Amino acid sequence: MTILDVEDLAKGFGGIRAIQGLSFSLRAGAIHSIIGPNGAGKTTLFNLITGLYAPDQGRIAFLGETVTGLPPHHLAAMGLQRTFQNLQIFETMTAVENVMVGRHLHILRGLLPSLFRLPSIVRSDRDARERARRLLEFVGLGAYVETPAGAMPYGALKRLEIARALAAEPKLLLLDEPAAGCNAAETQEIDTLIQRVAAAGVTVVLVEHDMSLVMGVSDHILVLDHGQKLAEGPVDEIRANPAVIEAYLGTRAAEAGAVPAPVG
């Protein structure tokens, strides 16, 4: 079963064709990665899928339903969540409060009872806090529950963002560079967490430049170049694809010192 189907999608900004004629489907229950050089259109694709941008052309279906043009909150209510390439954390709020923000969909269900602070809402607030605390434990941040986010280490904040996205109980979770700026130990924690999230039944789409993380966790990889699909398939196939090596992996490997510089 597919969870997401993208058909002939296009989005431009002035003269820049950020996404052009892109089609692909993502299988439910798997870990997918989207890779490609800077400016390939990965974040734009996330913005289109989550309803932040309207496409110029094409169709997006989530859970078999056409959702093209629906606003982000509607898609969120259907089970679509994402994290952002740049941290979107409230620094003065505690970790548990940051996660509770992600639950707002569920907490603010009935506006009227909350105006009168009915007992059901007080209870619901207490439940939300308890659920948020458990989510923090799930992402390995049990020690930071009452810590202001501003006092937490960077790697922990990346996982706090994931906990907040999970609080809305997504079926599909899009992660935009969750390991960017993380050291090796923090990246390993993200790796483990992605696998735990997938094991809990959430379909994951990872955009990431750390190739060892991508190659280690992914079931399936989609390679973007200039807004178009360069290749897609299982990890071993992508790793061996000459076009992918030339456009992307070669440069990355060379940067990492894995490929000897040409002689002469």
Ligand X SMILES: Nc1ncnc2c1ncn2[C@@H]1O[C@H](COP(=O)(O)OP(=O)(O)OP(=O)(O)O)[C@@H](O)[C@H]1O
One of 31, 33, 35, 36 touching ligand X (CB under 6 A) = 36
Residue 20, interface with ligand X (CB under 6 A)? no
One of 20, 44, 94, 98 touching ligand X (CB under 6 A) = 44
One of 3, 4, 9, 18 touching ligand X (CB under 6 A) = 18
Q: Of the candidates 47, 212, 214, which has an alpha carbon nearest to the alpha carbon of residue 204?
A: 214
One of 40, 89, 135, 168 touching ligand X (CB under 6 A) = 40
Q: Which stretch binds ligand X (CB under 6 A): 37-45, 130-138, 215-223, 245-253?
A: 37-45
Q: Which stretch binds ligand X (CB under 6 A): 11-19, 92-100, 119-127, 254-262?
A: 11-19
| Identity of the amino acid at 84 | F
Residue 2, interface with Mg ion (CB under 5 A)? no
113 binds, among Mg ion, ligand X, none (CB under 5 to 8 A by kind): none
Which residues ranging from 82 to 141 are in contact with ligand X (CB under 6 A)?
A: 85
Q: Which stretch binds Mg ion (CB under 5 A): 17-25, 85-93, 240-248, 254-262?
A: 85-93
Which residue's Cβ lies closest to Mg ion? 43
Residue 9, interface with ligand X (CB under 6 A)? no
Q: Which stretch binds ligand X (CB under 6 A): 31-39, 70-78, 94-102, 194-202?
A: 31-39
Residue 178, interface with ligand X (CB under 6 A)? no
Q: Dump the DSSP string for the chain.
A: -EEEEEEEEEEEETTEEEEEEEEEEEETTSEEEEE-STTSSHHHHHHHHTTSS--SEEEEEETTEE-TT--HHHHHHHTEEE--SS----TTSBHHHHHHHTTHHHHTT-HHHHHTT-HHHHHHHHHHHHHHHHHHHHTT-GGGTTSBGGGS-HHHHHHHHHHHHHHT--SEEEEESTTTT--HHHHHHHHHHHHHHHHTT-EEEEE-S-HHHHHHH-SEEEEEETTEEEEEE-HHHHHH-HHHIIIIIHHHHHHTT-SPPPP-
CB nearer to ligand X: pick between 64 and 181: 181
One of 1, 13, 15, 119 touching ligand X (CB under 6 A) = 13
**Distance set, CA 242 to CA 24, 129, 183 (Å):** 21, 50, 30
CB nearer to ligand X: pick between 51 and 152: 51
One of 16, 105, 199, 243 touching ligand X (CB under 6 A) = 16
Distant-in-sequence, close-in-space partners of 137: CB < 8 Å, separation ≥ 6: none
Residue 43, interface with Mg ion (CB under 5 A)? yes
Residue 229, interface with ligand X (CB under 6 A)? no
- Residues near Mg ion (CB under 5 A): 42-43, 85
